[in-house]
Homo-oligomer: A and B are copies of this chain.
Amino acid sequence: MAPLADVQTLTGEQDTWSVYTKTRSTVQEQPLSKDELDKYTRYFHASMYLCLGMLYLKENPLLQEPLKKEHIKPRLLGHWGSDAGQSFTYIHFNRLIKKYDLDAFVISGPGHGAPGLISNFYLEGVYSEVYPNKSEDAEGMQRFFKQFSFPGGIGSHMTPETPGSIHEGGELGYSLSHAFGAVFDHPQTIALTIVGDGESETGPLATSWHSNKFLNPITDGAVLPVLHLNGYKINNPTVLARISEEELRSLMIGYGWKPYFVEGSDLESMHQAMASTLEVCVQEILKYQKEARESGKAVRPRWPMIVLRSPKGWTAPREVEGHYLEGFWRAHQIPLTKVLTDPEQMKQLESWMRGYKPDQLFTKEGKLITELKELAPAGNKRMSANPITNGGILRRPLKIQRFEEYGLKVDKPGVTSGPSMNHFAEFLRDIVRDNQTTFRVMGPDETESNKLSAIYSAGKKVWVNGYLPEDEDGGNLNPKGRVMEMLSEHTVEGWLEGYILSGRHGLLNSYEPFIHIIDSMVNQHAKWIEKCLEVSWRQAVSSLNILLTSTVWRQDHNGFTHQDPGFLDVIINKSPEVVRIYLPPDGNCLLSTMNHCFKSTNYVNVIVADKQNHLQYLNMDDAITHCTKGVGVWNWASNDAGKEPDLVMASCGDVVTQEALAATALLRHHLPELKIRFVNVVDLFKLIPNGYHPHGLKDAEYSALFTDNKPVVFNFHSYPWLVHRLTYNRPGQERLHVRGYKEKGNINTPLELAIRNEADRFSLAILAIDGLKERLGNKGGDVREKLIGERIKARNHAYEVGLDPQDLTDWTWPY
């Protein structure tokens, strides 16, 4: 098998070394005695044996009788490829936990490959403690095997059902950001983080190496990444496994790490290499932490990391039927695929499994023998038992001031404009102040732009990456900061997820349009939480709070790329037990909503609120009442006197609420005989029928607000169809006319943007008149014409003069 004729790599230092020749290691010490070597090999084999058991067996777990077809699972599922490398790393880190009394836990980046770690969790007893029927005996082992990738059982990732996990890895790319999130403000903790070389190709992972610029060695713990160069993805070599060692070393140095290499396939020398290298890394971490903590200097050292190059599917047969297995992508999933139909493969599997000598590893009853058992740490020092991995245990409620104290003064609804976001920022500032080690604010470089800079007086922006004199000129940077900003929505979201899952609190603030960048991450987090709800021993964690601001209606000037309120369409499909969506219409409602969200657990709360000055409607008492109900009639804006109205004007969102009110005022001015009820929705899920979501109104409650037979004009913040999706089976759907962002925009003024989408005051009033055509007759037609004229005038004004970011907001409620 010669290289292809016309192919050649030319990347500086050529690297023709094969993993199957001599083991290579940066560190050359040989810390293990012969006896230890033997024990670690057997422990590793016990783990590998369990991995194969999980993939293949439903009966005969200890191979106490010859392997037969009826012992094999009818459908073979699971991944073998990265199991060995992950287990190998875990086992060797156990040694150091014992030796240095470390507080550590593990993150498994490579997705499918969980058996490598789950097998260890079982060997060290945690699995059986958490699931007593998966006991440390033959019967328990049989159940442990059978449940793997089996209906009603556990998946082949580190799912929520698996103790010791805060990172599933179903979707790849977030191992490092989760690890960093979990060790921030946990100064004693080390996150042993196995990074897959497949995962390493993802964007989120590629940039998350830079997280080290945001880690304070005094107040934060440490992340020890082990980049596992397994060599292959599903069907391809990985990029990082095929670049020269010079490039790989440079890459890690470039990311700010100090790389150590451990490479080979020979077990004994690999044991020595891994044991010594991990130990050097731990010593460096402890040294840097000690230096920083004793000197009080928050430095960024080149933290150590390890490149572990081992064969894909390590310890499997190298060749099967003339094709490479170990060391090739064919070892990615089930290594022998025809066991059920091919007696030869069945024999091969049996002799492979027996090659690990299970009878010498486990007692006759099926328990790991004592001398191996002792290799693992005890109690909560076992990584799978670290409370961080069930963060709700550590979580303490947030210390939170009375949000009412931060309110805006509202004497009369709709006549004063005020900075909703700035008031919230003061509330947030004091939360930061009062929870200096348990609350962080994350965002992609937009906290200031989003008008939240008040918090800097309680916590600056974390920066451990070089300072210049001009930073003193309002830079607001400090290694002890509480605000974390990197222009990577993926990284800040990953940090926050890790921070929350390990028992703390936080907030992500982002421009609304670009939150779509992390659609998939938030999806996955919602799925994680949903499954945690089904796992009885998982304690509740803080909600993931996402504040969306710089919203579509004020992205007039940034143009079409910045106009996308569709994140709600993604969130709304997630499990109703988990997701919550709020659109507070003004500052006091924002405060009340955020207070609720910060105190809640196990939700994904999405809050949409613009950052610009806005009309204020409700005083604090009314805001609390309104937000507690989640939806309500605004009597001050209604003239139906509590009776049946002619028309319901409804709104959900801040800018659109103002336009709906302005439309109401136009109608009342031009058509004073009309009885209009004004309804505002804060809690979007109120619209969905009760039963579909815990917040859903009963039909009678819905009708009491929206009537049974009167036209409803509903001005919605986001894409209008979402309201129809929520209300399609409500009474009176055919009378419900929803307006919202209809993907019409470019460079606009705010009012002109609303007009383009027919969500402006004029269009809404016209829509109402159209809905009341028969009742209003000619008079309605006259008003309609007039309003169309005003709308044209407003639009032309924008095109001609181009001024007036305030063209939308220079309006107050006239009644």
Q: Are A747 and B7 also in contact (CB < 8 A) when A156-B558, A170-B559, A561-B170 are? A: no
Give the residues in chain B near A448, CB-CB below 8 Å: 234-235
Asked whether any CB of chain B lies closer than 8 Å to the CB of A569, the reply is yes
Give the residues in chain B near A517, CB-CB below 8 Å: 171, 519-520
Q: Are A201 and B210 also in contact (CB < 8 A) when A470-B324, A557-B149 are? A: yes
Q: State whether A743 touches B461 (Cβ < 8 A).
A: no
Asked whether any CB of chain B lies closer than 8 Å to the CB of A187, the reply is no
Q: State whether B558 touches A170 (Cβ < 8 A).
A: yes
* Smallest Cβ-Cβ distance to A575: which chain B residue: B743
Q: State whether A247 touches B237 (Cβ < 8 A).
A: no
Q: State whether B719 touches A728 (Cβ < 8 A).
A: no
Give the residues in chain B near A296, CB-CB below 8 Å: 6
Q: State whether B323 touches A473 (Cβ < 8 A).
A: yes
Asked whether any CB of chain B lies closer than 8 Å to the CB of A227, the reply is no
Interface window among A124-132, A589-597, A777-785, A799-807: A799-807
Q: State whether A467 touches B202 (Cβ < 8 A).
A: no
Closest Cβ of chain B: how far from A437's Cβ, in Å? Answer: 17
**Which of A466, A531, A557 has the largest count of B CB atoms less than 10 A from its CB?**
A466
Asked whether any CB of chain B lies closer than 8 Å to the CB of A564, the reply is yes
Give the residues in chain B near A10, CB-CB below 8 Å: 299-301
Give Cα A150 to B479, complex, Å.
41
Interface window among A42-50, A252-260, A395-403: A252-260
Asked whether any CB of chain B lies closer than 8 Å to the CB of A516, the reply is yes
Asked whether any CB of chain B lies closer than 8 Å to the CB of A205, the reply is yes
Q: State whether A238 touches B487 (Cβ < 8 A).
A: yes
Q: State whether A560 touches B3 (Cβ < 8 A).
A: no
Asked whether any CB of chain B lies closer than 8 Å to the CB of A509, the reply is no
Q: State whether A477 touches B799 (Cβ < 8 A).
A: no
Closest Cβ of chain B: how far from A400's Cβ, in Å? Answer: 27
Q: Are A558 and B8 also in contact (CB < 8 A) when A198-B445, A207-B201, A446-B234 are? A: no
Give the residues in chain B near A446, CB-CB below 8 Å: 234-235
Main secondary structure on chain A at its contact with chain B?
loop
Interface residues of A in 211-257 (CB under 8 A from B): 213, 233-239, 242-244, 246-256
Interface window among A73-81, A409-417, A538-546, A672-680: A73-81
Fill in one digit per residue for A450-479: 1 if any B CB lies within 8 Å of its CB, else 0: 000000000001011111111111110111
Q: State whether A151 touches B253 (Cβ < 8 A).
A: no
Give Cα A715 to B475, complex, Å.
56
Give the residues in chain B near A513, CB-CB below 8 Å: 171
Asked whether any CB of chain B lies closer than 8 Å to the CB of A204, the reply is yes
Asked whether any CB of chain B lies closer than 8 Å to the CB of A184, the reply is no
Q: State whether B242 touches A466 (Cβ < 8 A).
A: yes
Give the residues in chain B near A530, CB-CB below 8 Å: 560, 743
Interface residues of A in 731-785 (CB under 8 A from B): 733-734, 743, 746-749, 752
Q: State whether A149 touches B9 (Cβ < 8 A).
A: no
Give the residues in chain B near A210, CB-CB below 8 Å: 201, 206, 239
Partner of A9, one of B250, B300, B801: B300
Q: State whether B802 touches A466 (Cβ < 8 A).
A: no
Asked whether any CB of chain B lies closer than 8 Å to the CB of A524, the reply is yes
Asked whether any CB of chain B lies closer than 8 Å to the CB of A379, the reply is no
Q: Are A151 and B749 also in contact (CB < 8 A) when A75-B804, A250-B251 are? A: yes
Asked whether any CB of chain B lies closer than 8 Å to the CB of A11, the reply is yes
Give Cα A207 to B467, complex, Å.
26
Give Cα A199 to B729, complex, Å.
45
Interface residues of A in 112-154 (CB under 8 A from B): 112, 146, 149-154
Q: How many copies of this chain are found per oligomer?
A: 2
Give Cα A479 to B3, complex, Å.
12
Q: Are A2 and B469 also in contact (CB < 8 A) when A527-B560, A752-B151, A804-B74 are? A: yes
Partner of A805, one of B12, B75, B470, B559: B75
Give the residues in chain B near A347, CB-CB below 8 Å: none
Partner of A514, one of B171, B560, B575, B733: B171
Asked whether any CB of chain B lies closer than 8 Å to the CB of A394, the reply is no
Give Cα A148 to B138, complex, Å.
75
Q: State whether A12 touches B473 (Cβ < 8 A).
A: no
Interface residues of A in 146-202 (CB under 8 A from B): 146, 149-157, 159, 168, 170-173, 198-199, 201-202
Asked whether any CB of chain B lies closer than 8 Å to the CB of A420, the reply is no
Q: Are A478 and B4 also in contact (CB < 8 A) when A254-B247, A798-B151, A799-B152 are? A: yes
Fill in one digit per residue for A310-340: 1 if any B CB lies within 8 Å of its CB, else 0: 0000000000000110011000000000000
Q: State whether B234 touches A449 (Cβ < 8 A).
A: yes
Q: State whether B721 touches A725 (Cβ < 8 A).
A: yes
Q: Are A473 and B300 also in contact (CB < 8 A) when A75-B803, A151-B799, A573-B566 are? A: no
Q: State whether B254 touches A250 (Cβ < 8 A).
A: yes
Asked whether any CB of chain B lies closer than 8 Å to the CB of A486, the reply is yes
Fill in one digit per residue for A53-93: 1 if any B CB lies within 8 Å of its CB, else 0: 00000100000000000000111010000000000000000
Asked whether any CB of chain B lies closer than 8 Å to the CB of A348, the reply is no
Asked whether any CB of chain B lies closer than 8 Å to the CB of A491, the reply is yes
Give Cα A436 to B562, complex, Å.
37
Asked whether any CB of chain B lies closer than 8 Å to the CB of A490, the reply is yes
Q: State whether A9 touches B487 (Cβ < 8 A).
A: no
Going nearest first, the 10 A-B pairs with the smallest beta carbon separation are A251-B254, A170-B561, A203-B203, A74-B803, A155-B559, A206-B207, A516-B520, A250-B254, A242-B466, A201-B487
Q: List 26 A-B contacts (CB under 8 A).
A: A3-B467, A6-B297, A6-B480, A7-B297, A7-B478, A75-B557, A75-B802, A75-B805, A153-B747, A155-B558, A155-B561, A157-B561, A171-B514, A171-B561, A172-B487, A201-B486, A202-B490, A203-B206, A206-B206, A213-B242, A237-B463, A243-B466, A251-B253, A253-B254, A323-B474, A572-B721
